[in-house]
Amino acid sequence: MPKAQTRHTSKRRAIQNALGQLGWHASGKDVVALLASYRIEVSEGLVSKVRVESLKKSEEVKRQKAKMQQTGRQAKTPVVRKVPQQRTYRR
C-alpha cells in the first residue's frame, strides 16, 4: 500500500502567508514564532529577504499599471512595414 502523500508548502509561501496574517510590518521574530508553532523552521534573515522581494514585486506591478493608465492603451499595435515595389525587367 503506497504511503499517503502530504502537501508541503515552501518556506517562502509559508512566510508570505504568515506576513499576510500578521501584517507586512510584523517583526521577523513574530513570523519565526508563528511558523515554529506549525513546525516550520525559518530564520529572520529569510523572512526579511522574502518581505523585501515581495514588496519590490508589488511596487513593480503598481508602476506598470500606472504606466498603462497614462498611455491610455493596453498594448502597442503591431506596425506593418512598407515593402518597396519590386522593379520589373527593363529592356
Q: What percent of the chain has pLDDT over 90?
A: 33
- Match 506576513 to its residue by C-alpha cell: 19
Instruction: Retrieve residue 31's grid coordinates.
Output: 513570523
Across the range 8-26, mean pLDDT stands at 88
- Residue range(s) defining the domain that contains residue 18: 11-70
Q: What is the pTM of this model?
A: 0.59
Does 3 fall in a domain? no
Decide if 50 is inside a domain: yes
The verdict on residue 80 lying in a domain is no
Residue 16 amino acid letter: Q
Helix (H, G, I), strand (E, B) or coil at 47: helix
64 located within any domain: yes
How many domains in the chain?
Answer: 1
On the 0-12 / 13-18 / 19+ scale of CB atoms within 10 A, 89 is exposed
* More confident call, 54 vs 5: 54
Higher pLDDT, 27 or 81: 27
Report whether 51 contacts 19 (CB < 8 A). yes
